């Protein structure tokens, strides 16, 4: 067995472990984001005396950011480029939807819809 073949055999399980670790980090990040959103929603609906402290929201947001960083660290370079490409396409889709809504509102003002 040559050194390259040995390196390939030992590198493959590490890649699978980092992928699993990344998926677990993403699940934790989404769960933390959901908990923070629910805590913020609940605290805004309560009187000032019973509202949750802002520290809980900050701690949950910190957990989300930490898990998101752990997810990104488990990626290789092509995965990062793919993620950035999808983020830019999502941004362009959002801008397109906003412009479409503005155009529909302008057409509605003039009765062209």
The number of domains in the chain is 2
47-78, pLDDT tens digit by residue? 766 556 666 777 777 777 777 777 777 777 78
State the pTM of this model: 0.42
Q: Does residue 30 share a domain with residue 51?
A: yes
Q: Does residue 62 share a domain with residue 109?
A: no
77-101, pLDDT tens digit by residue? 788 788 888 889 999 999 999 999 9
How many residues comprise the chain? 113
Q: Please report which helix (H) or strand (E) contains residue 67, including its range.
A: helix 54-73
Q: Does residue 66 share a domain with residue 45?
A: yes
pLDDT at 107 over 80: yes
Q: What was the pLDDT predicted at 97?
A: 94
22 neighbors 71 (Cβ within 8 angstroms): yes
Q: What was the pLDDT predicted at 113?
A: 75
């Amino acid at each position: 067995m040559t050194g390259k073949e040995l390196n390939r055999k030992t590198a493959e399980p590490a890649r699978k472990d980092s992928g699993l670790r990344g998926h677990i980090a993403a699940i934790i990040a989404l769960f933390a984001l959901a908990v923070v959103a629910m805590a913020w929603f609940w605290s805004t609906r309560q009187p000032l005396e019973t509202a949750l402290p802002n520290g809980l929201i900050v701690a949950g947001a910190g957990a989300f950011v930490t898990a998101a960083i752990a997810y990104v660290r488990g990626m290789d370079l092509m995965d990062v480029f793919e993620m950035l490409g999808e983020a830019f396409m999502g941004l362009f889709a959002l801008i397109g939807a906003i412009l479409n809504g503005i155009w529909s509102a302008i057409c509605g003002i003039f009765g062209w819809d």
